[in-house]
Amino acid sequence: MFDTNENDPISPAMRALLELFSTELSEVKFPDVDAEVLEEAASRVRAQAEAVAKAQAALEAARQVLAEGQEALVQKGQRALAYARVFAEEDAELSTKLEAISLPRAGRKVTRAEGGVVAEAPAQSDESAPKRRGRPPKSRPSAPLFADGSSPEAVAAAIESAETAPVAARPAAA
């Protein structure tokens, strides 16, 4: 599983020493240390590193299963809370208790065109949403529509009376 360059759990200096003991110092034996003892220790370290990698993969898989379970629980909780709020419409005390509960928003599943689930995307809030693209909307006038103090009803009445007034009584167009 481990190659001799990148993923080897044995340091480059130790690999160099192992190389020396397997070639030039293969016949040399020191008390409790020789090429065979070093190679056995290196094999154990590689096996232990492989065990760690497998454990990390299992941990990551367990975390994924946990996240999926938590997501399912949040979805069911959101639904239960919505039902409970409708049920408690007539009970002010229960409604107050339910309104105090704020569950996180459930993520949504992103699907491919083939129908397979790709990943779950968390529901985005305004702060985390990507910046909108395109032309910004036109600004609205800050002055109120009826700035002169007249109400919409008064304007409508004035228009109606002007339309029904005789032509001679109408003001001349400028």
pLDDT at 1: 45
Asked if residue 82 belongs to a domain, the reply is: yes
pLDDT at 160: 73
pLDDT at 54: 96
pLDDT at 68: 95
Provide the residue-wise pLDDT of the chain in tens; the chain has 174 residues.
Answer: 444 557 889 999 999 999 999 999 988 888 899 999 999 999 999 999 999 999 999 999 999 999 999 999 999 999 999 999 999 999 999 999 999 999 888 776 555 555 555 445 555 555 556 777 777 777 766 655 555 666 667 767 777 776 666 655 555 555
Specify whether the backbone of 124 is left (phi greater than 0), alpha (psi in -120 to 50) or beta: beta
DSSP 8: -
Asked if residue 153 belongs to a domain, the reply is: no
Asked if residue 86 belongs to a domain, the reply is: yes
> What is the per-residue DSSP string for 113-148?
TTS-EEEEEPPP-TTTSPPP-SPPPPPPPSS-TTTT
As a whole number of angstroms, the distance between CA 13 and CA 20 comes to 11
Asked if residue 16 belongs to a domain, the reply is: yes
- CA 15, chain centre distance (Å): 42
Asked if residue 19 belongs to a domain, the reply is: yes
Residue-level length of the chain = 174
Asked if residue 60 belongs to a domain, the reply is: yes
Asked if residue 133 belongs to a domain, the reply is: no
pLDDT at 134: 77
Specify whether the backbone of 94 is left (phi greater than 0), alpha (psi in -120 to 50) or beta: alpha
pLDDT at 2: 47
Helix runs in the chain, H state only:
12-22, 35-87, 92-99, 152-164
Specify whether the backbone of 39 is left (phi greater than 0), alpha (psi in -120 to 50) or beta: alpha
Structural domain range at position 60: 12-121
Asked if residue 155 belongs to a domain, the reply is: no
The number of domains in the chain is 1
